[in-house]
Structure 1
Amino acid sequence: MTDDVDRIVEQWGRERPDLETDAMAVFGRIYRLARIVGDRQERVYGALGINRGEFDVLATLRRAGEPFQLSPKALTASLMLTSGGMTGRLDRLERAGLVARSPDPADRRGLVITLTSTGRTLIDEAVTVGLAAQRRSSSGCPSRAAANSAPSSGTCSPPRRAEPAEKLKRRCLDIDRCGNDRRRALRPRTALSTAEASGDTDGGSRHTKPGPPSSRIPAPPGGVDCLHP
C-alpha cells in the first residue's frame, strides 16, 4: 500500500539519490494529517457559524476560567496574531454577540474582552463536537479483514489513546528545547558575558559596558501551542 508521500519520496530518491528522505516521509504525513483534520474541524465549526480562527479566540477565553476575560494584547500574544488580525476576529465575534468589549478597570486606556453567556454556550458545544471529530480521526478505520471477522468499537483503551499524545508531546518539547539552545548559542556575547565566562569579574570588568541593544537578539516568545486547542 502506497500513498502520495511514498510517491514524492520515491521521486526525490530517483532524482537526488544523495538525499536522506526519512524525515520527509515522517513530516510529509504529519502535514497531510494536519490538513485533513483541520479541514474536518473547519466543517464542524462552520456548522455552528464560526471558523477555526474564531474558535481559537472563544476557546482561549473559555479556558482562561472565570470571568472568561482577557485583554486584546493577551489574546493576540496567545494566538500569535497581529493586532489587526485580532481586531477583525473580535469585530465579527462581537457583532454575533459572542464576546463583549468593555473598559479595563485596571487601565483607563485599555479594554478587556469578555466571553458572553451565548459565547460560552457555543464554545462549549464547539469543543465537544470538535473533540468528537478528532477522536474519529485518531481512531482510524479498521482493516477490511478485521471488519469482516469481528465487530469493532473503533476505540482504544485510555492508556493506548494516551500513547500517541505523550510521544508527540515529548517530541515537541525536544524540538522546542533544541531551538531555544540554538538561539542562545547564536546570541552575540557582550563584553560582560565574556568576562563572566572566563571568571574575570573583578572591579575592572564591572565597568565594562555591554554592547548596544541593537546587537542583542530578543528572547523567543513563550506559550507556543504545539497542537490546535
Structure 2
Amino acid sequence: MLEIKRGGSPLVLGLPHTGTSLPDDIADGLNDTGRALADTDWHIHRLYADLIGDITTIRTRIHRYAIDVNRDPSGESLYPGQNTTTLCPLTDFDGHPLYRSGHEPDDAEIARRRETYHAPYHAALRAELDRVKAQYGFAILYDCHSIRSHIPFLFDGRLPDFNIGTNNGTTCAPEIESAVARICAAAPGRTAVLNGRFKGGWTTRHYGRAEDGVHVIQMELAQSAYLSDEAPPWSYDDTKADRLRTHLKTILETLIRWRPA
C-alpha cells in the first residue's frame, strides 16, 4: 500500500490522503456515502508530480476512510472543540455517516488497521527523514494536502487557495515558514493564510522538531484552485492546475535550496 520514491536532496514530500484503495472487508461495511470517497485529496500526487527532481516522496494508497494516517494513532483530537474526523472516520467532512449500521469498526478493528496501514506509513516516513538528515544534517518534510474550499461542518466561509500550517511556528525554522508564506502571498490572484483553520496535522506536529534538524510544513490547498468542480467526478483541470503548479514549483525550489544558518 506504500509508494516510495527516494531522492538525494533533504526535501521529502508526504502524500497521506491521495489514495483511493479500500480492502474488500472495509469497503463492504461502508454505505453509499462511504464508497463515494468524497474526502479524498483528489489528484494531489499528480499536481506535484515532476515539479522538481531529486526529492523523496512517500504515498499511501489506502483511503483515509479505512484509517487516516495523518491522525494521532492514540485517537486524540488535533482540534479539540471543533468538528473534525477521527483516526478511523465514522463520518465524512459533512458529518454524514460512512458505515452501514452495525458495521462501524470496533477497538480491535481500529487497532488492526493502525498496525496494518498507519504504522507502516510512518515507519517509512521516519526512515526517509532519518536517511536524508544523516546525509545533510537536517531534513524538510513538506506535507501535501487538499480539501474542498467550502465545508460548513468543518469551517465557516471559504478557504483561501493556500493554507500553510506550522502549528503556530513550532514545526519548522522561521525562515522556512516566512519564505513559503511570502511566495503564497505574492502569487497573483491567489489567497493565502498562515496557521488558519489548518495548522498542521499529526504528521506536521509529530515530526516537526526544528531544534533537532527536522523541519515540517503542511500545505492544504483549496481544491477549487485546480479541479474543474469540487464535486464528482472530481476532474483535474489542466489549465487551472498548471497555473497553480507554477507557484508550487517555486515553493519546492525554495525549500530544496534552503540550508540552516
Q: TM-score w.r.t. structure 1 length? A: 0.32
Larger Rg: 1
Greater share of helix: 1
Query: Which structure has greater strand proportion?
Result: 2
Q: Which has the higher contact order (CA 8 A, sep 6+)?
A: 2
